[in-house]
Amino acid sequence: MIEAAIKDSAVTIENFKEKARALNTTESKTFVKGKITMTDTIKTLESRFDLNKAVRAIAEGKALTGAEAEYSQEEARKAAARGRAQRSNSVFIPASALRASQNMESLKPVVGEEIRHDCFVDMIMERSILGKLGVRTINATGPVSLPSLTSSNLENFGFVAEGQSAGEGTIKFAAQPMTLKTFNGIVPVTRQAAITLPNIGAIVGEHMLKHSAIALEKAILSNAANPNARDGLTKILTDAGKVKQIDWTYAEFLKLVAELTDKGFNESDLAFATRGVVKAELAAQLKAANVPGFLVEGDKLVNRPIYGSGVVAQDTMLFGDFSSLAIADFGSLELDCDDTTGRAAGNLYFRVWADLDWTVMDHSALTVVQKKGE
C-alpha cells in the first residue's frame, strides 16, 4: 500500500501521511487485540474446563477435546519446559476444576481477585488450618531461592551523633532453595461410576481437596522427617533450637506473646496451633486464682487465635507469625487414570500430581512451645 502511494504522482505528501497513519493505527490495534485474545483465551479455558468430561475421557481411554484438550496441551508444554514429561493417560487440570462447582463466578466470594484460581495450594488453604494460620503461598514456575532471615538485632536501629560511626548489623540471611517435590494422592473409583455418574468430577475433586489438605497439614506441621520432601515445621524449628518449655499458665502465655512483640512482631499476626484435645483442655482450665475466665475463650488464648489439628505433637504448640512459613506451588496440576492396578476388580485409580515445597523464611518468628515437665 505504501509502495503504491510512493509511485502514484497524484498522491500529495499530506495524503501520504494520512494513509501511513491509518495503516500504522490498524496494525497496532491488531497487535494489541492479539495479545488480549491470548490472555482471554487462557482464562476462558480455565472457566470452561469440565472435570467430569476429563475424568470420563481418561477413564475410557478416549482423546480429550475442546477446552479440556487445549488447556492440558498448554500446561503440558509448560511442564516440558521444566523438564517434566506428561504421564500416560493423564490430563493437566486447573486447580479450580477440583471444586464441586465449575462456575467461576461462585469463586469470587471465596477467593480474592489477586489469587490465581489455578493454584492447587490456594485451594487447599481454604480447607486447612494452614490457611487459617496465615501461611504464605508462592506461585512459582520453577526452582527458586528465597532469602531466609536467621537472626536480627533491633538495636541496630536508632540515632547516632554527628560524625559517629553507625553500628554494625548482625542480621543474617541464608538462601533457602525451593525445589519441585512431587505430591501425589489417589482416589479409587469403579469403572462404572467413572463412566455413568454425571457428577464424577465433583466427587473426585472433593476427595482430592479434602485428603490433600489433611496430608499436607501432617507433612508440613509435624515433627517428622518426611521421606521425599522437606522436614515438618516442628522438626525444622526443633533442629534449629527454637524450642521453649513453659508452664501452661495464663502468665506464661502472656510472656510468650510479649517476647515476640518486643522483637517487633505485630501482635495481630501471632497465633497458636496445637492438638484439638489440648485446646479443649485449655478451654476447661481457669486462668488463675482470682482471675475470671478460662485460658481458651472464643477460640483465643491470651487474646490470640488458637487452632486445633491432630497432626501437632501431644503437649506441644506451634506459636508465632506463620506468614514466615512459605509454601511454593510450581503449577501444572496433573490428573491421571490407572486402569491396570485394579482391573480385576473393575476399579480405576485417579491420581493427582502436584509439585510443592515449603520453607521457613524467618526462624525468629516461630517457636515450638512444650509443656514443662512433659
Please check whether residue 332 is in contact with residue 361, taking contact to mean a CB–CB distance below 8 angstroms: no
Note the pTM of the prediction, 2 decimals. 0.72
- Report DSSP state, residue 225: -
Q: pLDDT of 92-101, one tens digit each?
A: 988 888 764 4
- Strand, helix or coil for residue 31: helix
**What is the Cα–Cα distance from 259 to 250, expressed in whole angstroms?**
15
Which pLDDT belongs to residue 7?
54
Please check whether residue 183 is in contact with residue 356, taking contact to mean a CB–CB distance below 8 angstroms: yes
Which pLDDT belongs to residue 276?
93
The candidate with the shortest Cα–Cα distance to 148, out of 161, 156, 136, is: 136
**What is the Cα–Cα distance from 285 to 103, expressed in whole angstroms?**
46
Find the length of the chain: 374
Average pLDDT, rounded, for the chain: 81
Q: pLDDT of 226-246, one tens digit each?
A: 999 999 999 999 999 999 999
Instruction: Give one word for 159, left, alpha or beta, with left for phi > 0 and alpha for psi -120 to 50.
Output: beta
pLDDT at 165 over 60: yes
- C-alpha grid cell, residue 304: 490470640
Q: How many CB atoms lie within 10 A of CB 314?
A: 10
Q: pLDDT of 280-330, one tens digit each?
A: 999 999 998 888 899 999 999 999 999 999 889 888 999 999 999 999 998
Binning pLDDT at 50, 70 and 90, where does residue 111 land? very low
Say which residues have a Cβ less than 8 Å from residue 86's Cβ, sequence separation at least 6. 76, 79, 80, 92, 334
Binning pLDDT at 50, 70 and 90, where does residue 331 land? confident
Q: Which is more confident, 166 or 302?
A: 302
Q: How far is CA 373 from the centre of its chain?
A: 37
State phi, psi for 287 to the nearest 5 degrees.
-60, -55
